[in-house]
Chains A and B, each alone.
Chain A
Amino acid sequence: MKRKFAGLTAVAVTSALLLAGCSPSGSGSEGGEGDEITMWVIGGDTPDALREYLKTEFNEKTGATLKIEEQTWGDIITNLTTKLPDANNTPDVTEIGNTQSPTFTNAGAFLDISDMYDELGGDDLLQSFVEVGEVDGANYTLPYYFGSRYVFARKDVFAEAGVEQPKTLDEFNSAVATIAETNPRSIENFSGFWLGGQDWRNGISWIFANGGDIAQYQDGEWVATLDSPESLTGLEQLQAIYQTASKAPNDAKDESIWTYVNDSDKRGEEGAEEQTSLGAASILAPGWAHWSIGDLDGETRVWNDDKFAAYPLPGNDGKPAPVFAGGSNVGISAKTQHPELAKELMRIIFSEEYQTMLGENGLGPANSKFTSSLGDDQFAKALIDSASNSKLTPAAPGWAAIEAKNIMEEFFSQIRDAKDLEALAKDTNAKLDALLNQK
């Protein structure tokens, strides 16, 4: 017992010493050997190979070292809030969620890199992302990568219900309603299209597709526009979906929705009855969900073209319906001690090599010149097509507060049972207006 304890103490003391040793290094003159800059990436989206490339390339170009630290999506705001203003501990370059970008750029968290804008890709960069990194015409953050949402549908269930793959949004709306009503497999609570009550990030497409918007920038300030005639048309379609096509609970979010379109195969035991977890004929989901959709092979899912289909949500104007783009921006901390090195890293990130690598790994490259690197399978096509018409949340300074207060979630959860959609929209507009312009 005693020895064990001594062992633990040894571990404890060693890590204490190790940690004590790694206090921030003093910042000397820039660009020399031995200098180190830090970049934050969020989550595991940036694959290891890309991180290695950045480190090697950066070291070769500058002689300095690049340290990449991985943050988590759940805690990124806390870390940005405390560490980004602190010159001693700030990351020099950081990824930031595109909806989080306006709040931080407006607060002065990032370095003005307007002078590099053209060098880094200029107008070839994904413009909706450029906008959320812009304040008064100056560029602070630029797009890092984008993702998009498209439809994953059960071909077999569509066929059983006698429904074709829809070509327009109207067709889609009626198709999913029909499937839910005919319920070809007689599954309890079966949805034609699964849309969680609080899942506004997917549901918003119906407002966008009818020409509506959450908010617009008019005469120097942001104004909520959920009660415009266009938005209301979208809301009516959404209400119909919620009432007939979707059986999702009012408070459901977009977590793991792909499980609803999968079958769960038989259990391994002999004679066990077939278990099915199929709950919906279609979903709208981020592109990477395709890794989790398919037939069960051992313990992994394998895509099956006979059963599943992936395509952009159709619009009524021949183009795909606008969807919310996913993805991130990237910027240089205003408090960096190494602005020149940080700019060098930005040059590497926006280089042709790195942009192509992003695409090859299924991440939409920031620079549209390199979109072809995504490949040409059905997922790449669906990603490129749906992204061609993608939108973002309003680039208003108060947007983060709106997300924190879950105003959009609450709004959407009330659509199904709303007696008066216009009153609900006006009510939410008032809540949005109170926060949109708040710095």
Chain B
Amino acid sequence: MTRERSRRSLAPYLLLLPAIGIVLLALGYPIFWQLLTSMQKFGLAQQFGQPPEWVWFANYRTLFADSTTWVVVGRSIVFCLVTASVTMIVGVGLALLMRAVGTVVRVILQIALLLAWATPVVAAMTIWNWMFDWNRGLVNWLLSSFGLPFNGHNWLQNPLSFFFVAMIIVVWMSVPFVAFSIYAGLTQVSTEVLEAAQMDGATPGQRLRLIILPIIKPVLGIVMLLQIIWDLRVFTQIKLLQDRGSIASQTDVLGTYIYQLGIGSSDFAMASAMSIFVLILTVLLSWPYVRNLLKEDEAA
């Protein structure tokens, strides 16, 4: 209604101006620089003032010809999809649980989740690193006190178990946001409808699939999109785990790979090319969700 009236007005553009302005200010030049640098030879010497050589797409060619790139890409995508799915499943489960229990238990649950969410990443990683320490870690102590052969077990040595630990940590950190968002969506599901369905003999599974899921679908969409974006770019958690143990070349993901190319090897051109590639990759991977969101947005 109001929309129609303001169709030709300047107002929306004025309202967008501050947001667009600050994004352009902070990211405009850096993105431009990154594009430019990705087509140059740009190392530490160039950073210290030597003129860079323009090489067009040579960096991209080198990058795509290197099998490491594809291994890292594949590894990151698998890690991202698995972690995002587990996060979503646990998050939905906890949201349903929050709805099913009484106020007291719900508040306890919410506070516990808030504690995990509020712990700064650097602090959280310190705790987790220590809990999974092979020599004095709590996890090994706990498992071996159940008689399992975990005394001195090194979790970070094997890449699979490294990523298992990484997944636990990332899930622990991201579930609170997912659970709260979905719980918010769940409050839109009317209790009467659910009770009526139960009277009519719908199983819990059917109720979830046929009543609850369709209602929270929009929330699921945006939350899943965010999880994919975040888990694909995961950096801090992997980097801090790598600093503790594991063979880096077996556990590099996109984020740490860019870091290793850039700051590590001072090859800022390759790091830029890789960043641009990751951006394109993320857009492609998240495109189905983005399209859905756009459709819903148009419909709203």
Contact = CB atoms under 8 A, between A and B. Distances in A.
Interface of A: 77-78, 81, 84-85, 103-104, 106-109, 188-189, 198, 249-253, 255, 259, 277, 279, 334, 400-401, 403-406, 409-410, 413, 435, 439
Interface in B243-273: 244-249, 260, 263-267
Given A249-B154, A251-B245, A405 B44 contact: no
Contacts of A400: 264-266
A405 B264 contact: yes
A84, A404, A413 interface centre (most CB from chain B within 10 Å): A404
B93 interface: no
Nearest to A401: B265
Given A107-B48, A109-B48, A405 B265 contact: yes
Contacts of B221: none
B55 interface: no
Given A78-B263, A188-B152, A279-B135, A107 B248 contact: no
Contacts of B249: 405-406, 410
B228 interface: no
Contact of B247 (A108, A277, A410): A410
Contacts of B264: 77, 400-401, 403-405
B245 A249 contact: yes
Interface residues of B, number: 27
Contacts of B265: 400-401, 404-405, 435
A251 B263 contact: no
Nearest to B158: A251
Interface string B36-52: 00000001110111100
Contacts of A109: 44, 48
A103 B266 contact: yes
A104 B44 contact: yes
A251 B156 contact: yes
B44 to A, nearest CB: 4
B110 interface: no
Contacts of B154: 249-252
**B contacts with A: majority SS:** loop
B48 A334 contact: yes
Contacts of A279: 135
Contacts of B248: 405-406, 409-410
B181 interface: no
B79 interface: no
Interface of B: 43-45, 47-50, 134-136, 151-152, 154, 156-157, 244-249, 260, 263-267
Contacts of B156: 251
B152 A77 contact: no
B74 to A, nearest CB: 19
Contacts of B266: 81, 103, 107, 400-401
11 contacts: A103-B44, A109-B44, A249-B245, A252-B245, A253-B244, A400-B264, A401-B266, A404-B260, A406-B248, A439-B43, A439-B44
B166 to A, nearest CB: 14
B286 to A, nearest CB: 29
A185 B249 CA distance: 38
A84 B265 CA distance: 17
Contact of A409 (B43, B48, B247): B247
A177 B102 CA distance: 62
B37 to A, nearest CB: 14
Task: Give me the 9 closest cross-chain CB pairs, A-B, nearest first.
Answer: A404-B264, A401-B265, A107-B44, A249-B154, A406-B248, A251-B157, A107-B45, A251-B245, A404-B265
Nearest to B246: A251
B44 A81 contact: yes
Given A405-B260, A409-B247, A107 B47 contact: yes
B115 to A, nearest CB: 22
B47 A250 contact: no
A78 B244 CA distance: 20
A403 B264 CA distance: 8
B134 A249 contact: yes
Contacts of B267: 401
Contacts of A405: 248-249, 260, 264-265
